[in-house]
């Protein structure tokens, strides 16, 4: 990635790795093994290190896990593993204090470090709010001293859905609330002269995630802070959907110059996360703009044009369009998942001439239909054209003609690039020269449009990547639930290994399947637990019953 467009952040040392500034964008992952299972831990660490993982995180849920950390360190030294180690802490501040002696970095969640989630609705006076912050400072001071004593770094890892009641009541479960949750901690850390901090703003919804990172950058700029950012879409899922969600959130932010270290959270073996992260980094290089553009400054009075072509309206108030091209089209040719499918000859002779060529345009083009080839996609140029055209209060209608590819890097680059432009409303449609849903490019496009929330083709799954806290086999269970429910268009299902982030991160889900203990599952409707401690072998059937009870079940033919 071209360094000149990176947001300028301070440099933070994590063991033998530097993060931020003009350092390379670092790739991270997290162990799925139980932290106390030393043989599995070291085996998994070796695989990650060999694959190119530069920072490894382990969960530390109890004092027994803290006691395992020096043993893990000894094994790492014996095996020649020099990758920095991060302790992941929730709920118990003393665990963070104790773990800091043995790891290069500690990660804490500001939503549960000093606060217990009571879901209380109350008004805080300014004096009461300041009293809460004073209590937070007292809880944080022992960790600050320990980090300074051992020269450790810290990640303030905000998670959407696990904000404190204090923040929720003042700012809501919003990107602003997420950013403010981290800012509370940063102000205290700076007050006590601690600056070795990295920030993350993770959410399972890539749209919320992007907005939260943009908001924390804005807030830090206002207070003259410049901490490096760790990017990730949490609970992204598996397969192409998990990778595309991550490319949309992570890749589009990197294309804005935001981000210094990344993790692709997949419900798969952790080692799969490393090539997925590399594909995003490799893929965006082709599309890196020469300057940083703040998309949030888009003028609100711009009215997108609306143009009709062959009976399909594009732009204006029309929904985003997916258009296809086939070698032949019968009269009763099913257009799903497309809004329109053209015969190749009809496309070339009758439709293509109605578009203006983006490559030949040299100035603002106003109320026109513009075709952009994905091979020549230029983010800067599109944004500049929109800015010039905005003087007429009407924007050109941009449609991208997507070139087919099987290359993983190119697919992830396209997902990041197209996704960012879709979310800032710079594109009004895509044209794909195939109707074969098994084609890798079309498969990616369908996942992207669903992740960007502009089209819905199937159920949406929010599934965590597993860790040492997980109470069941997440990968097998996720595959089983997807097989039985993927056809439920628009239904959002959360699959969480434990209750740390589970109920909160499922704020966006209709139904939740959460590990509550060894072999036990709790089911949620929204954020409300409706069935507790179900035996794991019966839980998927109970989940289906729950969906049926709420009138959201359809069989494979589409009938309720």
pLDDT digits (tens, 9 = 90+) for 18-75: 999 999 999 999 999 999 999 999 999 999 999 999 999 999 999 999 999 999 999 9
Tell whether the model's pLDDT for residue 343 goes beyond 80: yes
Higher pLDDT, 5 or 37: 37
β-bridge pairing 460-463 and 492-496: parallel
Residue 499 has what pLDDT?
Answer: 61
Tell whether the model's pLDDT for residue 334 goes beyond 90: no
- Tell me which H or E stretch contains 186: helix 175-191
Residue 295 has what pLDDT?
Answer: 44
Residue 1 has what pLDDT?
Answer: 41
> pLDDT grade, residue 194 (50/70/90)?
very high
Tell whether the model's pLDDT for residue 302 goes beyond 70: no
**pLDDT tens digit sequence for 86-117:** 999 999 999 999 999 999 999 999 999 988 66
Average model confidence (pLDDT) across the chain: 88
**pLDDT tens digit sequence for 365-406:** 667 888 999 988 877 778 777 777 766 667 788 999 999 999
Higher pLDDT, 555 or 455: 455
- Dihedral sign for Cα atoms in the order 69, 75, 76, 78: positive
User: Lowest-confidence range among 180-194, 221-235, 359-373?
Assistant: 359-373
What Cα–Cα distance (Å) separates residue 166 from each residue in 65, 78, 92, 219, 301?
30, 46, 18, 19, 35
Q: How far apart are CA 252 and CA 417, in angstroms?
A: 6
Span(s) in the chain for CATH 3.30.413.10: 460-549
- Dihedral, CA of residue 155, residue 161, residue 164 and residue 165, to nearest 10: 170
| HSE, side-chain direction, 13 A CA sphere, residue 38 | 13
**pLDDT tens digit sequence for 457-512:** 988 888 877 676 666 778 888 888 989 999 998 898 988 876 665 566 666 788 98
Residue 280 has what pLDDT?
Answer: 97
31 touches 45 (CB < 8 A): yes
Percent helix / strand / coil, the chain, rounded to 5: 40, 20, 40
User: Token digits for 432?
Assistant: 């794909």
First-to-last alpha carbon distance for the chain, in angstroms, is 49
Q: How far apart are CA 362 and CA 340, in angstroms?
A: 30
Residue 395 has what pLDDT?
Answer: 78
What is the CATH number that goes with domain 460-549? 3.30.413.10
Tell whether the model's pLDDT for residue 450 goes beyond 90: yes
Unique residue bearing structure tokens 């439709």:
351
Tell whether the model's pLDDT for residue 330 goes beyond 90: no
Residue 498 has what pLDDT?
Answer: 67
Tell whether the model's pLDDT for residue 527 goes beyond 70: yes
Q: How far apart are CA 329 and CA 434, in angstroms?
A: 12
Span(s) in the chain for CATH 3.20.20.20: 22-291
Q: How far apart are CA 208 and CA 313, in angstroms?
A: 28
> pLDDT grade, residue 160 (50/70/90)?
confident
Tell whether the model's pLDDT for residue 3 goes beyond 60: no
Class of domain 22-291: alpha beta
Mean pLDDT for 199-214 is: 95
Closest CA to 394 of 308, 320, 306, 319: 306
pTM as predicted? 0.91
């Amino acid at each position: 990635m071209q360094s000149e467009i990176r947001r300028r952040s301070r440099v933070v040392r994590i063991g033998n790795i530097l993060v931020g500034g003009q350092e390379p964008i670092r790739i991270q992952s997290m162990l799925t093994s139980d932290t106390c299972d030393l043989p599995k831990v070291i085996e998994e660490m070796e695989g990650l290190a060999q694959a190119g993982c530069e920072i490894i995180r382990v969960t530390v849920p109890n004092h027994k896990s803290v006691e395992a950390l020096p043993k893990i360190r000894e094994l790492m030294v014996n095996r020649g593993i020099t990758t920095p180690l991060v302790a992941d802490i929730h709920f118990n501040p003393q665990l963070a204090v104790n773990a800091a002696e043995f790891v290069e970095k500690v990660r804490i969640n500001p939503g549960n470090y000093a606060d217990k989630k009571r879901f209380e609705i109350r008004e805080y006076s300014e004096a009461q709010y300041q009293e809460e912050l004073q209590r937070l400072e007292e809880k944080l001071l022992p960790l600050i001293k320990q980090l300074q004593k051992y020269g450790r770094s810290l990640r303030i890892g905000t998670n959407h859905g696990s904000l404190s009641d204090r923040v929720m009541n003042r700012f809501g479960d919003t990107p602003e609330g997420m950013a403010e949750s981290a800012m509370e901690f940063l102000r205290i850390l700076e007050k006590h002269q601690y600056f070795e901090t990295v920030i993350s703003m993770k959410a399972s919804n890539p749209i919320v995630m992007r907005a939260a990172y943009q908001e924390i950058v804005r807030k830090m700029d206002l207070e003259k802070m410049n901490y490096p950012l760790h990017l990730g879409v949490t609970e992204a899922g598996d397969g192409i959907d998990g990778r595309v969600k991550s490319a949309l959130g992570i890749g589009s932010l990197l294309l804005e110059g935001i981000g210094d270290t990344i993790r692709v959270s997949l419900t798969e073996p952790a080692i799969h996360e490393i090539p997925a992260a590399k594909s995003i980094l490799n893929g965006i290089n082709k599309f890196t703009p020469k300057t940083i553009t703040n998309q949030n400054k888009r003028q609100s009075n711009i009215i997108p044009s609306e143009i009709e072509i062959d009976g399909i309206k594009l732009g204006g108030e029309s929904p985003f369009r997916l258009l296809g091209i086939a070698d032949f089209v019968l009269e009763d040719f099913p257009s799903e998942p497309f809004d329109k499918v053209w015969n190749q000859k009809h496309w070339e002779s009758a439709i293509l001439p109605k578009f203006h060529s983006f490559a030949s345009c040299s100035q603002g083009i106003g109320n026109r239909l513009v075709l952009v080839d994905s091979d020549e996609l230029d983010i800067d140029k599109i944004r500049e054209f929109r800015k010039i055209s905005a003087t007429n209060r009407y924007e050109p209608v941009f449609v991208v003609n997507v070139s087919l590819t099987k290359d993983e890097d190119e697919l992830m680059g396209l997902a990041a690039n197209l996704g960012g432009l879709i979310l800032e409303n710079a594109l009004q449609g895509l044209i794909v020269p195939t109707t074969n849903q098994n084609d890798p490019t079309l498969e990616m496009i369908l996942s992207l449009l669903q992740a960007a929330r502009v089209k819905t083709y199937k159920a949406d799954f929010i599934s965590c990547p597993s860790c040492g806290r997980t109470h069941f086999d997440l990968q097998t269970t996720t595959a089983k639930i997807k097989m039985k429910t993927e056809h439920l268009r628009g239904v959002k299902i959360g699959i969480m290994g434990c209750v740390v982030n589970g109920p909160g991160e499922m704020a966006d889900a209709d139904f939740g399947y959460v590990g509550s203990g060894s072999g036990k599952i709790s089911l949620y409707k929204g954020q409300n637990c409706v069935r507790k401690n179900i035996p794991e072998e019966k839980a998927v059937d109970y989940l289906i019953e729950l969906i049926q009870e709420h009138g959201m079940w359809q069989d494979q033919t589409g009938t309720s």
